[in-house]
Structure 1
Amino acid sequence: KLCTSSFSGPGRERRGRRVGAIEMAQSRFSPDTGDLELTSLDGLDDVDDLLIRRKRRPPQTASSRLCLRLCSKPCLRVTAFSLMFLVLGILIGHVSLRIVTTDSSLYTRAAAPGADYTTRFMVVGDWGRGGEYHQSDVALQMGLVGEVFRPHFVLSTGDNFYPSGLKHLNDSQVDKTFTQVYNYPSLQVPWYSVLGNHDYGDGSGKHDFTTNPTLQSTEVMAAQDDRWVCCGGRDFVSKRPEETEDDGSLAELFFVDTSPFVHKYYKESWAANSGGILDEKEKTKDKTGALDVALERSVSPWKIVVGHHPIRSNGRHGDTPELLSVLPEILNRNKADFYFNGHDHDLQLIADPSNPGLRYVTSGAGSRTRLESFYGDNKVAFHTFSSGFVTVALSSQQARVQFWLWDSTLAHEFVAQK
């Protein structure tokens, strides 16, 4: 049986004067005498050996206490989870980490490589989120690149206003999501636009029958922003961009309203909206024929087709079977050069397997992107799920295509020969 006994006199004085020295006693019961035998012990090692008390800790400073608190298991768990969610947020575009730079040399490569590149434009899609999810960051880079690149127009590949299109005349979304976000001087050019499935009502308003696609038409939108030219493939099949330095002689734009082609939308409640997909699906055959004729009659050196849904894609949505069964034959026969689309929230470059001269470019990374990319079996020359946009500069013999990211990175560039 062990016990401790304290003493008066020098032992207590030492304990009071100096914490580092103590005097303890080991008490054992003697069966011979029936008395307690006391033996003085000095030093913490002996006390530890006898298990009379815990090992003494040195006095803690404020910094050591802070260190212990930070290194505690609950704190480490919180820190680890915080870092994990921060990294995940950065990857999916919910969290922005900005590096401010004034290095204008980052944008020198945006300039067209020669004076003969007389048609220049940008392509951006799936952007309409009120400036959130990197939309404002992408818009800023478009504005900065545009100061060097000098685009003549912008192509919008659809899903212009999330979550489910415009609802009424003079809708505040136009100002909040388009006019105020893309307010940089170099972006004050025509925006040739197609509709996406969300512009027809697919989104949080699936049972909201007030979505009206016709509110995005050029005539209706003119009162709010006269840059807007829409709705490609629905209100018009082709446009010749006369604002270019060659007066539109170098390239012609062709448009496909792709949402009415997609069968899975037909059963959705929002498809029955006035002027919606069910009203347009019966026109798809006529629209396909009109596109075929317009491409055949075109004498432009560059033929550029724009739609929302991809024909070929390795993104989350992948190939669109309803388009894959119809459009490649028309595009190849009429020697189209590019098909630009959105819908998949990433940036991709894919060549047609039977015609290397036809390139499928996905530019659907105007705001929120998806990690669920890199599916499919198409041979991809470039693919990223970072937010960004595309620039295209055309001469009579070449097309230079660049993929820019939201953080000012020029991620990929290629030159196509005519």
Structure 2
Amino acid sequence: MNLKRRQFLFSSTLGAIGTGFVGWMLNHQNHQSAEISDSTAAIAANPPKKDLLLRFVSVADTGTGAKGQYAVARAMNFYHKQNPYDLVVLAGDNIYNNGEIEKIGEVFERPYQGLLKQGVKFQACLGNHDIRTANGDPQVKYVGFNMKGRYYTFRRGIVQFFALDTNSNADWKNQLSWLEKELSLSNASAKVVFGHHPIYSSGQYGSNSAFIKTFTPLFKKYGVQLYINGHEHNYERTRAIDGTTYLICGAGAGNRPVGRSEWTEYSTSDLSFAAYDVYKDRIEVRAIGTNNRVFDKGIIQLKSA
């Protein structure tokens, strides 16, 4: 949705919003408009800075095999050529509609063949559509998704990633015990958790109060700087909430409208993916649309090692 359209929709709802909140929104929107003009630019070749430690991207709700998925995949390919990366966080709903592994060529191997041929590794988790067939077990076993189980962890340099099964039928008791143990043992400077379902969201499903109660104390206690998810077919980045940024990248093949909340830094329904450059003291986030333009930029601060 372009800026003029967002402004029109925003203006049409002013009568229903309190005066103080209106003032906050107007100021924030003006600030965001300035950010858009600064950050919306065609992707250019960006030679890695000498202190760049890791570059990766994330995308979710991809597995349609339709034109939207291919449009985002082309943008991911283009970004890879300009700014090489070798890791994709794939945050669920990898195979629509029912997680049928027989569709893997149509919805994964062909759309991302350019990246796969370059040795880019996808690390997946399970979405709600993925568990409709055999509870997602065929996807867990599929070599291209590099899953070590329904929940698992892996390390890339100073970053430790924690993949979750956020579905309602997950083994929650054991998974949460595992997560706290792994977080407590981690000496990584950057901790990134990803799952399919949102914790904070201004989209169709909204924030999950049970997840807020369950996860946010753990994230705060153990210094998780970033949570990545899909499920909402949009892009949304929050400000840091008790030290954690929540980023939705679920517009990997289709899109739905998204609103704004008091903690929203940026939101849009545009088809897109997110890219991350990791340095010793920060993670630089970029959101990239199918026109190969950066429409959002943010910085996640890390504690210096």
- Greater gyration radius: 1
Residue equivalent to 1:253: 161
Q: Is the 8 A contact 1:112 1:393 kept in 2?
A: no
Q: Is the 8 A contact 1:337 1:358 kept in 2?
A: yes
Q: Is the 8 A contact 1:193 1:231 kept in 2?
A: no
> CA separation of 1:107/1:410 partners in 2, compared to 1, >3 Å: closer, same or farther?
same
Match for 2:186 among 283, 298, 320?
298
Supply the AA of the counterpart residue of 1:177. Answer: V
SS of the residue corresponding to residue 116 of structure 1 reads coil
C-alpha distance in 1, partners of 2:163/2:47?
Answer: 25
Is 2:279 the counterpart of 1:395? yes
SS of the residue corresponding to residue 192 of structure 1 reads strand
Q: CA deviation at 1:401?
A: 0.4
Q: CA deviation at 1:116?
A: 1.4
Supply the AA of the counterpart residue of 2:250. Answer: G
C-alpha distance in 2, partners of 1:350/1:106?
Answer: 24
Match for 1:362 among 248, 264, 267?
248
Is 2:127 the counterpart of 1:196? yes
Is 2:299 the counterpart of 1:382? no
C-alpha distance in 2, partners of 1:112/1:299?
Answer: 29
C-alpha distance in 1, partners of 2:164/2:115?
Answer: 29
What stretches of structure 1 move > 6 A for 4+ residues in a row? none
Unaligned runs of 5+ in 1: 1-86, 88-104, 202-209, 241-247, 261-276
Q: State the Cα RMSD in Å.
A: 2.0
SS of the residue corresponding to residue 312 of structure 1 reads coil
Q: Is the 8 A contact 2:245 2:300 kept in 1?
A: no
Match for 2:147 among 230, 234, 237?
230
> CA separation of 1:391/1:296 partners in 2, compared to 1, >3 Å: closer, same or farther?
same
Q: Which has the higher contact order (CA 8 A, sep 6+)?
A: 2
Q: CA deviation at 1:229?
A: 1.0
Residue equivalent to 2:18: none
C-alpha distance in 2, partners of 1:185/1:300?
Answer: 27
Match for 1:155 among 67, 78, 89?
89
Q: CA deviation at 1:213?
A: 0.7
Is 2:48 the counterpart of 1:116? no
Q: CA deviation at 1:231?
A: 6.0
> CA separation of 1:321/1:417 partners in 2, compared to 1, >3 Å: closer, same or farther?
closer
Q: Is the 8 A contact 1:195 1:231 kept in 2?
A: no
Supply the AA of the counterpart residue of 1:193. Answer: A
C-alpha distance in 1, partners of 2:78/2:281?
Answer: 27
Matches within 5 A, 1:313-352: 313-352=201-240
Is 2:69 the counterpart of 1:135? yes
C-alpha distance in 2, partners of 1:352/1:293?
Answer: 24
Q: CA deviation at 1:129?
A: 0.4
CA deviations on 1:94-134 (whole Å, 9 max, x unpaired) are: xxxxxxxxxxx93216x3661211211010000100133x1
TM-score (norm 1): 0.60
CA deviations on 1:147-203 (whole Å, 9 max, x unpaired) are: 122112100010000111125xxx1x10011010011147631111110001112xx
Q: CA deviation at 1:352?
A: 4.3
Matches within 5 A, 1:35-50: none
SS of the residue corresponding to residue 210 of structure 2 reads helix
Q: CA deviation at 1:299?
A: 0.5
Q: Is the 8 A contact 1:312 1:318 kept in 2?
A: yes
Q: Is the 8 A contact 2:235 2:248 kept in 1?
A: yes
Q: Is the 8 A contact 1:117 1:394 kept in 2?
A: yes
Supply the AA of the counterpart residue of 1:368. Answer: G
